[in-house]
Amino acid sequence: MSDNDLESTQRRIIEAAGIMFAERGFESTTVRDICQEAGANLAAVNYHFGDKERLYIETVLRAHRWCIEKVKLPGWDETTPATQKLADFIITFFGRVLSDPGDVWQPRLVLREVLHPTAACAELARSSIRPEFEILNGILRELLPDDISEEELHLTAFSIVGQCLFYFFADGVIRSLIVADEYASHDVEKLARHVTNFSLAAIQARANAHQPAALLEEVER
């Protein structure tokens, strides 16, 4: 009954449920499938967790704690350049997006819940995503001109996470658009490098255009 008993029925159920919830969602996953996969009796879910929804909440909470524990940003100090922070942020983000399904299901379940919150976990979804958003905004504030509007800051942040998340939610589309070899060659480092270069180029162009922009207009007149 210990929480750390790797062979306990609860553990096996959480593991099976996590994989299936992450892959097919709450509604499309049946209690029977979970129990069969976990090698447990049909009544085990209700006995150990009360009902299916409480099992789901428990699974999402554990997945969230797992992510906080395992997928961490590296430590920064005051000498770390903002460009490095952005690169770190993006590669960490990709670590979740591209986690192997099946083996590591926790980030996928959390991402699914964040993108399409269940009523039960809506609050967790909000509270888990906001700090990351603020970290990214902080990095971008260092990279962009001081007088940038909050709105443009947010649009820039959305552009970055949008690029990353695309590989998560459009995985099937990507697989059908490019040849198998190219798809297989996608990995965290390569994709993170592309998104970092692409975004930094756009950000630095925006930063450089800030002051000279007025001058250029003068010239054109």
Question: Would you say the C-alpha torsion 141, 145, 150, 156 has a positive or negative sign?
Answer: negative
DSSP state of 99: P
x/- mask, DNA, residues 53-72, rule CB under 7 A, reads x-------------------
Residue 103: exposed, middle, or buried by beta-carbon count in 10 A (0-12, 13-18, 19+)? exposed
What 109-116 contacts at long range (C-beta under 8 Å, 24+ apart), as own/partner pairs, is 109/18, 109/21, 109/22, 109/59, 109/60, 109/63, 110/60, 110/63, 110/64, 110/67, 111/165, 111/168, 112/21, 112/22, 112/25, 113/60, 115/165, 115/169, 116/25
Of the candidates 36, 47, 177, 202, which one interacts with DNA according to CB under 7 A?
47
**Residue 36 is a binding residue for DNA (CB under 7 A):** no
Q: Which does 164 bind (CB under 5 to 8 A by kind): DNA, its own copies, none?
A: its own copies
Q: Give the nearer residue to DNA in terms of CB position, either 17 or 114.
A: 17
**Residue 20 is a binding residue for DNA (CB under 7 A):** no
**Residue 1 is a binding residue for DNA (CB under 7 A):** yes
Q: Which is nearest to 90 in space by CA: 161, 147, 154?
A: 161
Q: Which of residues 144-173 bind its own copies (CB under 8 A)?
A: 150-152, 154-156, 158-159, 161-167, 169-170, 172-173
Q: Which does 178 bind (CB under 5 to 8 A by kind): its own copies, DNA, none?
A: its own copies
Q: Which does 146 bind (CB under 5 to 8 A by kind): DNA, its own copies, none?
A: none
Q: Give the nearer residue to DNA in terms of CB position, either 71 or 120.
A: 120
Q: Which does 163 bind (CB under 5 to 8 A by kind): DNA, its own copies, none?
A: its own copies
Residue 23: exposed, middle, or buried by beta-carbon count in 10 A (0-12, 13-18, 19+)? middle
Question: Would you say the C-alpha torsion 149, 151, 154, 156 has a positive or negative sign?
Answer: negative
Interface with DNA by CB under 7 A: which residues?
A: 1, 8-9, 29-32, 40-48, 51-53
Residues that bind its own copies (CB under 8 A): 27-28, 114-117, 125-126, 129-130, 133, 150-152, 154-156, 158-159, 161-167, 169-170, 172-174, 176-178, 182, 185, 191, 194-195, 197-199, 201-202, 204-206, 209
